[in-house]
Amino acid sequence: MVAVQPVSSVLNRLKQPQLLLIDGKLQAAASGETYEVHDPATGKPIASVAHGASADIDLAVSAARQAFNDRRWRGLTAEARSRILLRLADLVEAHAGELAYLDILNNGMTLFMANALATSSANRVRSAAALGSRTYGKNASAAISGNGADMHAYTAKEPVGVVGLILPWNGPMASFLGKVSTALAAGCTCIVKPAEATPLTALLLGELALEAGVPPGVVNVIPGFGDAGQALVDHPDVDKISFTGSTAVGKQIVRSCADNLKRVTLELGGKSANIIFDDADMAIAIPGAANAIFMNSGQACLAGSRLFVQRRVLDTVLNGLSEIAGKIVLGSGFNPETQMGPLVSQRQLDRVTGYIEQGRTDGAKLVIGGGRRDGAGYFVEPTIFLDPPADSRIYREEIFGPVLVVNAFDTTEEVVEAANDTRYGLAGGVFTTNVNTAHLVAGQLRTGTIWVNCYGQLHPTMPFGGYKESGWGREIDEQGLEAFLETKSVFVKLT
């Protein structure tokens, strides 16, 4: 197989400064400043991007508020909004090659993952379109009327208003389309603040939304750093924030939003546990556990970064995982042979390698990996530690890299207690051929999603979110849509 050739339209696009999208128009930052974004596979700059800041957030919020108040989007019928979202999904598919190319170039993900996300993201937009056309309240007149007091009473679902959508860097296309399509299906207007390292896909998608028929001012895109995100969170004319990212930043957002009690949805970090019982099908469990941590170079909130293995099969599992990890092909995501790309940035590389060194210091046994790949780019070897102390940082904290910690267990009660002994609660996995064990453990793990004999699957019909410090609320499906709606009760006395 040969490496993927550059997409000429993308290369031509990146020769020009990447501008902010405000009120349907591309424009430079108010300050005139720009910043560079880089290819994590080489460390080289790939584009110059307008550096959005507080003044630009003000303009974008004003545009979104005007669009909301004049009803140019929410005033359309749900069916009309759905038709526009379906056109957006079609455009995502038509431009899938460009979008995947940008995600690989800017994020470092593999070709396989980028193509898969383009397909699944288009489908998620279609699902949001369908949900939006089925949003309605209820009629309670029969329950209230009687005894001479006739009443027409009903509830109405209304968009929450202007929403700030703050995106992570580990899935630029998927996170943009997931949040934006749901907000639009609810009738909201939005300001999208992509991660500073990965704004390129969001900017193209903002233009595609306009092409699909989304009116100007309904979707605004402001690349920038943390100060831009903070300005969006603090803005008094923003009704809701939806944030995906670290738990530490999520807590800061909650504190800021407390001042005016704006609505908040948070999809935060995880330290998810995968459990392999000794009756598991090892041909499924071992590759499943490897994929759970090494997919997207471990840069996934749902990564199965803790692995508990029943003692009788510990050696079998470790040998199998080591064999897989040792054969993983690192490289540019444009090469179809690549199985694991780089970390997203030098900062993330320093963070992950720092955790690896800390793991050695704390006394965990290094089974395989632990080093950087020679040459350019932000590459770290797939790394496995055995028996980290329960109070060690690599056991307790989210690393967000290809680092797996493995511990043995003997009983179901023991492993459930250990798996739940974390401040996080985003996801988890169970590998067993015993259906009773599967359901028992799935019911006892304190996490928002459980996979049995698989890992990482998501679907537009299934909500996603976390317990404990892994977040507030849910995204995807009806629960995700509800987060962008308000419920109004109306009583009309009939005379």
Catalytic residues: 267
Sequence-ordered strand ranges (E) for 361-495:
365-368, 383-386, 403-409, 427-431, 449-452, 471-472, 485-493
Distance CA 422, CA 427 (A): 12
Measured between alpha carbons, how far is residue 105 from residues 51, 251, 280, 342 in Å?
20, 31, 38, 11
Sequence-ordered strand ranges (E) for 326-453:
365-368, 383-386, 403-409, 427-431, 449-452
Q: How many CA atoms lie within 13 A of 411 on its CB side?
A: 3
Q: How many CB atoms lie within 10 A of CB 24?
A: 18
Distance CA 404, CA 303 (A): 9
Read off the DSSP letter of residue 224: B
Contacts of 317 (CB under 8 A, 6+ apart): 276, 282, 285, 286, 289, 307, 309, 406
Under 8 Å between Cβ of 321 and 332: no
**H/E segment holding residue 143:** helix 141-144
Distance CA 22, CA 30 (A): 11
Distance CA 416, CA 440 (A): 10
Distance CA 477, CA 460 (A): 6
93: nearest Cα among 162, 177, 169, 34: 177
Under 8 Å between Cβ of 73 and 215: yes
- Name residue, tokens 């009120």: 23
Distance CA 382, CA 297 (A): 8
262: nearest Cα among 241, 245, 231: 241
Distance CA 364, CA 394 (A): 9
Distance CA 345, CA 348 (A): 5
- Name residue, tokens 């738990």: 247
